Chain A
Amino acid sequence: MERFLRCEEDRDERVFGLRSIRPVWLCAFIALAMCVVGCNPTKEEITARRGVHQYLTGNFYGSMHTLEPLANEPDENYVLNNLRLGSAAMAAYELDEAEAAFVRAYEVLNAGSVNDQNRRTAAVFINEKMKIWRGEPYERALCNFYLGMIYYHRADYNNARAAFENALFKLRDYADPDRDEDHFREVENNFAIALLMLGRSWIMLNRPDLADACFRQVVDAYPDFGPVAQALSDRSVNTILFVEFGFAPRKTADGMDGAKVSFVPNPHQAGLVPRPQVIVDGQRVNSRPFDSILFDTTVMAQDRLWQSIDTIRVTKSVIGTGLVVAGLGTAIYGATEEDAGTAAVGLALAGVGMLLKESSEADTRQWEMLPRGAFLVPLTLSPGKHNIAVTFPDVPQLDQEWDGLDVSASGDRLYFVRLMPGRFGPFAWPPIRGADPMRTYNGPMLIEDDED
């Protein structure tokens, strides 16, 4: 053993020449190493970006086609790619595909210990993206919420109720997320839109007592949502428009070493929330009582309660910086003193520190398709077919029109209106499966009668 150790020491001297190493070379070595370690996007990530881009430009079928192979791959982006596919399919009204994709994501989000020890180690020393993505709490809540909306659209109120309940999980308020991930206070989730739709589901399941409890909870927390809650508790309401607009803030790497997560824009940068205007068969309806935005992702993203612990803390980068500084100092001291052992320990420390710093770059993966926010517009219309348009008078080029929407004599109908620049319609109902329902834009909508 002694002979082996001596041999190893000799080899160190011969190979690395540590005794004659100069401080300047040490610095150069570290700088070079920092440049070498880096992460380029994978082929799958590039494909996913293309799918997201197709969605953002209104090509929902193209987006589905691009994302489908990725969503079947059970890698670290499995949940994320299924959520992306679910969004594209939902916007295209391909609800079987959307349900399947959201359920695949839901199953992993609902499981415990998804990131095993090997993945956690890899995330610490290689790249945060090695972790199976589970998103921020607001992204998880929206997965459950969309699943609930799909079931509600199909009048499967029991499953809708279950999904809305699952969107209302308790949030964690960490006392000191950088030091202690075990100590947190559980707080009630204030995701009002899920609570409103849970109440509506209870109405459709003939449980007005449970519905009242949901609506009361919403109104106590958000008095502005009273008119929506009141309308949703009314069984004579037979049409609900779920109107989404804008996009969620971008998740960016910020701060020292890009280790901190920022969400851009914040609510102030994003500006005032526009108010929707609903036009039915050419006549404006009084939708003013329902023009309160029911969730705003620019607000949620800034709220620590709606952020995951990894987003809140920056411990790895701080430790990495400390190790690099200490290791570099030790190595320089060792080299100056011609002490190969000390210099080697210093280099090793600096190397570990650099790995930590490099791998501490924030995980900026996100569900890009999410809207900035949404409205629920409950309507009582005569049974039959109606042409319905949603417009934002304060925002140019943001409106959408649907022809022939069915309104039932019994029960209610939920319709999704995903507003995007360039997707004006008019779209024909029901959408033809596999074909983009978009037709040529016929110019501005005719408004026959003014509100009030």
Chain B
Amino acid sequence: MTSCAPKNALESGQSSALDQIDLISMTDQMAMSLGNDPGVIKLFQQHGPLLVVVQPVENRLTAEVLPRGPSQLFTARVRTQLERNHSSMFIWINNRDTFYSLRDQELEGIEPGPSPDAINPEYALTATFSSITQEDSKHRSIYYLCTFDLSSLSDRTRIWSDSYDVKKIAMKGFLD
């Protein structure tokens, strides 16, 4: 039976933005890809754990903002998944902004990791989100391409790269 009560402002809309489901499936996929990459495994076997700094997502989306929280979340979850499944391969260093932001929350039980001033990272995990938007009076569709890279900070070579793409469509209502 459907309820007659109108839905509230957060329940009723159809969003074409990336959501929680995308976050989980994207970051699981990227963590698996990075952790099992032959080139990355070879580097680990030759030089030991990789010192990696995690950067927030670079927003190249069309007409769509990516606030600080979500932009850190996407790469942070890749790190968390790798820590869980490939803990010996990587030593994670937060970038300066994230470190200080997490240090402020230490009382809430969040471990910020080593200070960025105390350790020099060798690699950077970065992500860039791009999109193509099509809009008409009835629909709004967005094709997202989310690219993740692991690059060497010394010579800027790309060690690993993978991407996640998804198309999202939202119907527009009469009052939109």
Query: Whose C-beta in chain B lies nearest to the C-beta of A114?
Result: B13
Minimum CB–CB distance for A143 against chain B, Å: 11
In this assembly, does B109 line the interface, its C-beta being within 8 Å of a C-beta of chain A? no
Query: Whose C-beta in chain A lies nearest to the C-beta of B10?
Result: A74
Kindly identify, within residues 342 to 400 of chain A, every residue whose CB is under 8 Å from any CB belonging to chain B. Answer: none
Q: A103-B67, A111-B170, A113-B173 are in contact. Are A165 and B62 (CB under 8 A)?
A: yes
Q: A130-B6, A159-B59 are in contact. Are A114 and B175 (CB under 8 A)?
A: yes
Minimum CB–CB distance for A413 against chain B, Å: 19
Minimum CB–CB distance for A66 against chain B, Å: 20
Instruction: Decide if B137 touches A184 in the complex (CB within 8 Å).
Output: yes
Minimum CB–CB distance for A77 against chain B, Å: 9
In this assembly, does A449 line the interface, its C-beta being within 8 Å of a C-beta of chain B? no
Q: A118-B4, A118-B6, A130-B6 are in contact. Are A162 and B12 (CB under 8 A)?
A: no
Query: Whose C-beta in chain A lies nearest to the C-beta of B57?
Result: A158
In this assembly, does B66 line the interface, its C-beta being within 8 Å of a C-beta of chain A? yes
Instruction: Decide if B64 touches A166 in the complex (CB within 8 Å).
Output: yes
Looking at B8, B64, B67, which has the most chain A CB atoms within 10 Å of its CB? B67
Q: A118-B5, A118-B6, A147-B65 are in contact. Are A113 and B59 (CB under 8 A)?
A: no
Q: A118-B4, A118-B7 are in contact. Are A165 and B63 (CB under 8 A)?
A: yes
Instruction: Decide if A113 touches B65 in the complex (CB within 8 Å).
Output: no
Instruction: Decide if B140 touches A112 in the complex (CB within 8 Å).
Output: yes
Minimum CB–CB distance for B84 against chain A, Å: 30
Q: A75-B9, A162-B59 are in contact. Are A112 and B172 (CB under 8 A)?
A: yes
> Which residues from B are CB-within-8-Å of A120?
174-175
Looking at B13, B135, B171, which has the most chain A CB atoms within 10 Å of its CB? B13
Q: Which of B14-22, B118-126, B144-152, B158-166 contacts A (4 or more CB under 8 A)?
A: B14-22
Q: Which of A113, A131, A162, A309 contacts B13 (CB 8 A)?
A: A113
In this assembly, does A37 line the interface, its C-beta being within 8 Å of a C-beta of chain B? no
Q: Which 7 pairs between the two chains have the least Cβ-Cβ distance?
A: A111-B13, A113-B173, A78-B9, A165-B63, A166-B63, A119-B6, A118-B6
Number of residues of chain A lying within 8 A (CB) of chain B = 44
Which applies to chain B's interface (DSSP): helix, strand, loop or mixed?
loop
> Which residues from B are CB-within-8-Å of A172?
137
Distance in angstroms between the alpha carbons of A106 and B64 in the assembled complex:
10
Query: Whose C-beta in chain A lies nearest to the C-beta of B2?
Result: A118
In this assembly, does A214 line the interface, its C-beta being within 8 Å of a C-beta of chain B? no
Kindly identify, within residues 65 to 117 of chain A, every residue whose CB is under 8 Å from any CB belonging to chain B. Answer: 74-76, 78-79, 99, 103, 106-108, 110-116
Distance in angstroms between the alpha carbons of A134 and B64 in the assembled complex:
18
Minimum CB–CB distance for B18 against chain A, Å: 12
Distance in angstroms between the alpha carbons of A163 and B15 in the assembled complex:
17
> Which residues from B are CB-within-8-Å of A244?
none
Query: Whose C-beta in chain B lies nearest to the C-beta of A123?
Result: B175
Instruction: Decide if A132 touches B62 in the complex (CB within 8 Å).
Output: no
Kindly identify, within residues 44 to 89 of chain B, every residue whose CB is under 8 Å from any CB belonging to chain A. Answer: 58-67
Instruction: Decide if A113 touches B67 in the complex (CB within 8 Å).
Output: no
Q: A110-B15, A112-B140, A113-B172 are in contact. Are A163 and B65 (CB under 8 A)?
A: yes
Instruction: Decide if B12 touches A113 in the complex (CB within 8 Å).
Output: yes
5 contacts between A and B (CB under 8 A): A74-B9, A112-B176, A118-B5, A119-B6, A159-B66
In this assembly, does A175 line the interface, its C-beta being within 8 Å of a C-beta of chain B? no
> Which residues from B are CB-within-8-Å of A445?
none
> Which residues from A are CB-within-8-Å of B8?
74-75, 78
Q: A112-B14, A113-B14 are in contact. Are A162 and B6 (CB under 8 A)?
A: no
Distance in angstroms between the alpha carbons of A111 and B62 in the assembled complex:
15
In this assembly, does A191 line the interface, its C-beta being within 8 Å of a C-beta of chain B? no
Instruction: Decide if B9 touches A108 in the complex (CB within 8 Å).
Output: yes
Distance in angstroms between the alpha carbons of A184 and B175 in the assembled complex:
14
